[in-house]
């Protein structure tokens, strides 16, 4: 009886401590590093001396965190982080998806009913209208009666909007003339941001060289530019680069910038400016403010040069130092006990198959157009009229509605299985009834917007450019990402090895902040320890 009393007392004491410490939190900093594989934490750990080192030494690290959906792309990943559920329920099944009724592909956050803010570009006609669930930031806005300030930044609209949710104060992403938004969030840019854009032009960042941050001998010896795509504005993929030459030769006016560490630097700079001008974390409210940052340059360089490149490694070493600058500011101006940080990633990335093949791996690269052509030949040979096959995207096949659709799905599935690159294929009915892990991930990643037949390449093989790399599969290299909780209320350091899901972040934060979980949340509350 005495033991039982002690256990009950300990339980309620821990709840009290948690309640007290959580109420002291004035600011939540939510960081998503686009395309950050979990092993980037350990691969370069001996060279980290800034923010990543701090997180590893003083944070609660979950070493076995995974996304639970396919495809593993930026938009579904960010939406899952903030809604605490899968695309099956939040609705963002890809960065793009095919719409049979209009016969074309649509962008996940496109909203023709909103207006561009800070630009005239139609690419700012974006909103969260396709996100079916609330986010934890939405729930915080409701709980705080809009007293919590929620600002989200990314180089990509999908990285910012999924974080700000439906009710956040602002989502900003990068255009050619600086950070922009849409009328979903505001009628005009804040004056301080207009000034920031004027003083911090993209060109002003692109001076000098992007050179090795530390001694070149620390970088991988096994490294070949033959498997790297030439960056925008460059003549060849040969690190280091002259930044001004990249910028001046880039006809897009922005792609070269986003592919360098300067893309992350401008995000850091605007985050610090937001903290100062909006006084985030400086208040006496019960609920915290939120600063959400999606560091996107890591994804752009990863796609271009792959996971083994000197550019990718250098990008992470520099991000380590950039995070350190952010944490130093928070410690000094918010107070080390008054903020918490959550760091994760929207997906990982595959090795370049051509490079892996030289190492003896049984993998291959395929051009997407060639793969689709070969699929169509197999399907036509199986007796399905070519006009019935509408689209191939997101490792799905869209088939025209007809009286024989159920049998045609099976024919298409079996035809795809004859292709040597295909490991498995399923009909939509099989996906709906799925319990097998890889099929279940497709169930989690699909809704009525999806196609009728799903397929998976063999692990390590990709349909992409021959150089660089991509992501999207349900294999570990794409699903396994870091999750770290850091800040005054968390026990430090703490390492967790149990397998968890990225969608567990939102319900965990909701629990910590004493707010409702997002409307479609089906993640679990993580076993964090508190000071």
For 251, 280, 300, 489, 499, the CA distances from 33, given in Å and listed in that order, are 27, 21, 11, 23, 20
Say how many C-beta atoms besides its own lie within 10 A of residue 444's C-beta: 26
**CA 232/CA 127 separation, integer angstroms:** 28
Residue that the structure tokens 């959906």 belong to: 69
How many other CB atoms are there within 10 angstroms of residue 146's CB atom?
12
Q: How many CA atoms lie within 13 A of 143 on its CB side?
A: 21
- Catalytic hit among 72, 74, 85, 469: 74
Q: How many CB atoms lie within 10 A of CB 19?
A: 12
Angle between the N-to-C axes of helices 505-513 and 136-143, in degrees from 0 to 180, rounded to the nearest 10: 20
What is the DSSP track for 120-146? --GGG-B-STT--S--HHHHHHHHTTT
**b/e for 205-224, b at 16 or more Cβ within 10 A?**
bbeeebebbeeeeebeeebe
The token pair that represents 519 in the structure block: 């409307």
Alpha-carbon gap, residue 110 to 124, rounded angstroms: 8
Q: What would the two tokens of residue 205 be?
A: 């960042």
Beta strand 60-66 pairing with 480-487: antiparallel
Q: Which two tokens stand for residue 251?
A: 């006809």
| DSSP letter, residue 274 | H
Element containing residue 85 per DSSP (H, E) = none
Q: Is 74 a catalytic residue?
A: yes
CA-based end-to-end distance of the chain: 28
124 and 181 Cβ atoms separated by less than 8 Å: yes
Active centre residues (catalytic): 74
């Amino acid at each position: 009886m005495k033991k039982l009393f002690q256990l009950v007392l300990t339980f309620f004491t821990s709840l009290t401590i948690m309640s007290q410490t959580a109420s002291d939190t004035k600011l939540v900093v939510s960081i998503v590093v686009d395309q950050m594989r979990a092993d980037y934490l350990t691969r370069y750990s001996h060279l980290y001396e800034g923010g990543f080192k701090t997180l590893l030494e003083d944070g609660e690290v979950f070493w076995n965190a995974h996304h639970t959906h396919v495809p593993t792309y930026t938009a579904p990943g960010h939406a899952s982080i903030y809604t605490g559920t899968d695309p099956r329920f939040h609705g963002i099944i890809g960065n793009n998806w095919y719409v049979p009724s209009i016969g074309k592909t649509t962008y996940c956050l496109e909203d023709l009913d909103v207006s561009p803010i800070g630009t005239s570009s139609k690419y700012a006609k974006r909103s969260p209208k396709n996100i079916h669930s609330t986010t934890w930031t939405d729930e915080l806005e409701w709980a705080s009666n809009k007293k919590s300030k929620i600002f989200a930044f990314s180089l990509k609209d999908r990285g910012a909007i999924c974080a700000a949710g439906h009710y956040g104060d602002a989502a900003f992403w990068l255009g050619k003339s600086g950070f922009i938004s849409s009328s979903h969030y505001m009628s005009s840019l804040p004056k301080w941001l207009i000034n920031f854009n004027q003083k911090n032009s993209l060109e002003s960042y692109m001076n000098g060289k992007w050179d090795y941050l530390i001694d070149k001998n620390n970088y991988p010896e096994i490294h070949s530019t033959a498997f790297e795509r030439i960056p925008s504005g460059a003549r060849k993929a040969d690190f280091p680069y002259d930044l001004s030459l990249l910028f001046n030769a880039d006809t897009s006016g922005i792609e070269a910038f986003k592919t360098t560490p300067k893309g992350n630097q401008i995000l850091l700079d605007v985050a610090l400016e937001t903290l100062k001008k909006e006084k985030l974390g400086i208040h006496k409210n019960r609920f915290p403010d939120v600063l959400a940052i999606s560091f996107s340059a890591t994804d752009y360089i990863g796609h271009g040069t792959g996971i083994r490149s000197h550019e990718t490694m250098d990008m992470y070493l520099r991000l380590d130092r950039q995070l350190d600058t952010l944490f130093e500011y928070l410690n000094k101006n918010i107070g080390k006990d008054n903020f918490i940080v959550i760091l994760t990633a929207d997906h990982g990335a595959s090795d370049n198959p051509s490079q892996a093949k030289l190492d003896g791996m049984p993998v291959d690269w395929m051009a997407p157009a060639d793969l689709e052509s070969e699929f169509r030949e197999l399907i036509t040979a199986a007796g399905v009229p070519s006009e019935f096959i509408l689209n191939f995207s997101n490792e799905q096949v869209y088939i025209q509605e007809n009286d024989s659709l159920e049998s045609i799905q099976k024919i298409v599935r079996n035809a795809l299985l004859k292709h040597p690159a295909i490991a498995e294929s399923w009909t939509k009915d099989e996906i709906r009834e799925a319990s097998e892990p890889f099929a279940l991930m497709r169930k989690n990643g699909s809704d009525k917007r999806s196609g009728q037949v799903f397929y998976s390449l063999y692990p390590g093989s990709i349909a992409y450019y021959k150089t660089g790399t991509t992501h999207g599969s349900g294999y570990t290299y794409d699903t396994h990402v870091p999750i770290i909780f850091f800040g005054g209320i968390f026990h430090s350091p703490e390492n967790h090895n149990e397998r968890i899901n990225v969608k567990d972040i939102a319900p965990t934060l909701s629990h910590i902040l004493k707010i409702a979980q997002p409307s479609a949340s089906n993640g679990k509350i993580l076993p964090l320890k508190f000071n």
